[in-house]
Structure 1
């Protein structure tokens, strides 16, 4: 029986990579919630990327050689971008969720594509296509319906200005990190991931030491570690290593503005997990899920026009030619 290789366009492969990343991140929300009962956000983030960054560096040396570890004079830029993406986003988001509700985090994540469009518009002076604004509007409305089941008044039940501003700031950190990959066009996604996450891990170490001085750390007891081990392994291997590799690969393939719209898969995944746990979907949630899916399809179709058919996309770990 003959085998037929799967041939997809680069945009399709990029979309598949982004879908994988956002599904992992969507699953990470309920997993993280359980871990945060025993561990503060700084320690949890440092655990994730303090392990993930060396894994990325080892993969980079294996695939591209140790010479790929060279910073090429970009050390400070990588430190800044990594700190924004891996320290800024995680710390601001998880501390804010602890002060309010996880639903607010999902809503702010839905605003990331809009933030990217506005930043790019300000940088280039070129107005985005009308399709982009329609897709963004559908995504935001869809996530609002998802997180409130069609009752927007629920947003004000436990709302507070400070956590909302923290979430917005965290979302902006991730947008800037994702867009920062464009400054390294000759680097593979793996190289950008490895070197920027190492910068982010250094930033997290600095925050962790500072928090320790002020007694703001909370670590699990030795007795609690065996029960937490599966969750911690998931957060490192799947929600950090696999997800970030797929994210940067997908962003390279289809671009930051279109790629960031996939962030709306995160609340969809969280919703699906709730269904598997026995949560009955309301009409508002069903409509919201449909709108998010339509926004993703609309955004993806907009990028397919004029795209050339391409051979199979090299995986994220492939050595650049």
Structure 2
């Protein structure tokens, strides 16, 4: 990998690891009003992101077309507010693994949709890698109890995860990762407030206790501010198809952190699934192919000067 690709892969991986670790924070917010929590999270994140948006942010926002603003509103509604709502609704009648399995299929959907929307064929290697990632995510999480409603909301959660990547592609270039993150957080905060007033009425927002405050701060500062910026910076460098491969790290991170708080265990199935996710990411991102190109035929390893070595013994050059 070159420096740009490597940096993009690391940024996307970090973002997904942060999201996976945030599931622990979600577990302590079960009694807090959903819309109010989302409003506080995204409003605080927007305030923190605005100073980092860079010079000319206002001009870039004014230059957006109505269609681009509509896309930003849809991105916030589907990929942020709607995604979180769908996961919560799914977990009312299904075990958490069920929406997790559906969300784990996001790399496959993005690997197909993004090229088709761009007028090109899906890349076979990326598609194969995304399938491995999806199988690995399923292996890590397993399958749980559910019903038709749980499956329906899990499908909605999958649509939200896919929309978070696909809908951002046309507006990432004009806004950049930081301003895009700040803008969608502002829109999501407004949408959350509207949902709260419609659904919960006057009780949509209350003062959180100490534990809820810590969880909301983690979600706002670490997962949203750091995670969103890293995600879109990674996507800017390696593209939505390859960046979404790293979403397979979300269930892996959740499985690794669950034993720390006593909400789960990490066993052979989780280890096998983690290995499949790693293999799928390496294959889809092109890391395996680049490693093979550095080796010559029949196992010969080439140095920078193009001269092969066999078992550490350098082969002398032929006389001209």
Aligned to 1:289: 274
Q: How many residues align?
A: 286
Say if 1:280 and 1:79 are closer, same or farther in 2 by CA, change over 3 A. closer
Picking from 130, 135, 139, the partner of 2:133 is: 139
Is 2:182 the partner of 1:194?
Answer: yes
CA distance in 1, matches of 2:153, 2:225: 25
Say if 1:20 and 1:125 are closer, same or farther in 2 by CA, change over 3 A. same
Say if 1:69 and 1:267 are closer, same or farther in 2 by CA, change over 3 A. same
Is 2:98 the partner of 1:111?
Answer: no
Aligned to 1:31: 25
Shift of 1:302: 5.7
Contact conserved, 2:71 with 2:167, CA < 8 A, in 1?
Answer: no
| TM alignment of 1:64-213, pairs within 5 A | 64=56, 66-70=58-62, 72-73=64-65, 74-124=68-118, 126-148=120-142, 155=143, 157-184=144-171, 185-213=173-201
Give a deviation string over 1:163-214, Cα, whole Å, max 9, x none: 222122222123223222321323311122222222222222221111124x
Is 2:45 the partner of 1:52?
Answer: yes
Shift of 1:120: 2.9
CA distance in 2, matches of 1:189, 1:304: 29
Name the TM-score, length of structure 1 as normaliser.
0.80
> Which of the pair has more CA radius of gyration?
2
Aligned to 2:293: none
Runs of 4+ residues deviating >4 angstroms: 62-66, 217-220, 277-280, 302-305
Aligned to 2:251: 267
Contact conserved, 1:250 with 1:259, CA < 8 A, in 2?
Answer: yes
Contact conserved, 2:35 with 2:204, CA < 8 A, in 1?
Answer: no
* SS of aligned partner of 2:175: coil
* SS of aligned partner of 2:266: coil
* SS of aligned partner of 1:255: helix
Give a deviation string over 1:82-113, Cα, whole Å, max 9, x none: 22222111111222223322212321221111
Q: Which runs of 5+ in 1 are unaligned?
A: 1-6, 149-154, 306-321
CA distance in 1, matches of 2:52, 2:119: 39
* SS of aligned partner of 1:116: helix
Moved more, 189-198 or 240-249: 189-198
Shift of 1:68: 4.0
Moved more, 256-265 or 176-185: 176-185
Say if 1:94 and 1:147 are closer, same or farther in 2 by CA, change over 3 A. same
Contact conserved, 1:39 with 1:218, CA < 8 A, in 2?
Answer: no
CA distance in 1, matches of 2:215, 2:245: 27
CA distance in 2, matches of 1:304, 1:191: 34
Aligned to 1:300: 285
Shift of 1:219: 5.6
CA distance in 1, matches of 2:288, 2:155: 27
Shift of 1:56: 2.1
CA distance in 2, matches of 1:114, 1:263: 11
Is 2:223 the partner of 1:239?
Answer: yes
Is 2:34 the partner of 1:41?
Answer: yes
Q: Which runs of 5+ in 2 are unaligned?
A: 291-320
Shift of 1:270: 0.9
Give a deviation string over 1:238-264, Cα, whole Å, max 9, x none: 011111111111111111111111111
